[in-house]
């Protein structure tokens, strides 16, 4: 039986990030209000209370009644980072979550800014960094090897490594209280692994780490001051692809560690 580490969190499902307080077409007293609601949120469909399989589609300034297509419907337990999900959101900015034959909630791509996504990715990054440290140690490397690498890069005129080296030199006593490589950033681990020819990690894995650790919105607003409910789909697409790249690098590290 395979046990999970204490820091490992399951991949969120759509039921973890969906909105259960659904805005139905019938909730709006005036059709103009419904139009404005859709425009302000970059959405095309509003469900109907009278029939969960029917929606009002907002197109070219008008509403049309239509049936939900299969690619607009998802089950609550579907994992949010399955590869086909990006394509679903490219075709439909909103997905309808159906369980037991009824509408349970809706998911807009901006719902990836919710807390369960942060918690999950945070745990994944922690485990990824742990694996990279273990690979370095497994290959006989120590903190001093990282410091020597910093010295070499600083001598080549790379100012950011000189800053890293200066910080390390000031923190020598603190460094003693950490296990091997615990003191260093993910980017440092990636550099050292590459330098010693142990494995090459896509630098975009560190981009995802920065999003998570700095608590940045994964899905960005178009202009929060003007329309706080309007988001940039391109930022969602970029973020989603970052996660898929991270998955590939995490799997690569796992294979390297266990080989």
Which domains are delineated in the chain? 14-108 (3.10.580.10), 115-258 (no CATH)
Select from 67, 60, 56 the least CA-distant residue to 26: 56
Percent of the chain past pLDDT 90, that is, above it, reads 76
**Residue-wise pLDDT tens digits, 17-26:** 999 999 999 9
CA 188 – CA 148 distance, rounded (Å): 12
Q: What is the pLDDT of residue 192?
A: 97
Helix runs in the chain, H state only: 14-17, 31-41, 84-91, 115-138, 143-155, 159-170, 172-175, 186-195, 204-213, 233-258
Contacts of 43 (CB under 8 A, 6+ apart): 37, 58, 93, 94, 108
User: How much is the pLDDT for 159?
Assistant: 86
pTM of the model: 0.89
C-alpha 10/C-alpha 189 separation (Å) is: 25
For the beta carbon of residue 172, count every other beta carbon within 10 angstroms: 9
- Answer whether 256's CB lies under 8 Å from 199's CB: yes
pLDDT for residue 254: 94
pLDDT tens figures, 61-96: 999 999 999 999 999 999 999 999 999 999 998 999
């Amino acid at each position: 039986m395979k046990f999970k580490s204490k820091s490992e969190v399951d991949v969120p499902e759509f039921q973890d990030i969906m909105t259960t307080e659904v805005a139905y077409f019938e909730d709006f007293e005036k059709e103009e209000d419904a139009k404005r609601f859709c425009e302000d949120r970059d959405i095309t469909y509003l469900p109907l209370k009278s029939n969960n399989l029917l929606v009002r589609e907002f197109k070219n300034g008008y509403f049309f009644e239509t049936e939900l297509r299969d690619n607009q419907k998802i089950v609550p337990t579907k994992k949010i980072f399955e590869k086909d999900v990006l394509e679903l959101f490219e075709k439909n900015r909103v997905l309808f979550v159906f369980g037991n034959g009824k509408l349970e909630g809706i998911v807009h791509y901006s719902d990836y800014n919710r807390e369960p996504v942060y918690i999950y990715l945070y745990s994944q990054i922690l485990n990824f960094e742990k694996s990279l440290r273990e690979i370095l140690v497994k290959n006989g490397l120590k903190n001093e090897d990282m410091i020597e690498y910093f010295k070499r890069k600083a001598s080549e005129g790379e100012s950011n490594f000189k800053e890293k080296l200066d910080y390390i030199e000031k923190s020598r006593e603190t460094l003693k209280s950490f296990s091997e490589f615990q003191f260093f950033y993910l980017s440092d681990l990636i550099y050292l692994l590459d330098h010693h020819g142990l494995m090459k990690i896509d630098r975009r894995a560190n981009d995802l780490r920065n999003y998570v650790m700095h608590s940045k919105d994964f899905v960005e607003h178009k202009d929060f001051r003007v329309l706080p409910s309007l988001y940039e789909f391109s930022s969602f697409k970029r973020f989603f692809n970052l996660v898929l790249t991270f998955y590939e690098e995490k799997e690569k590290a796992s294979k390297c560690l266990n080989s």
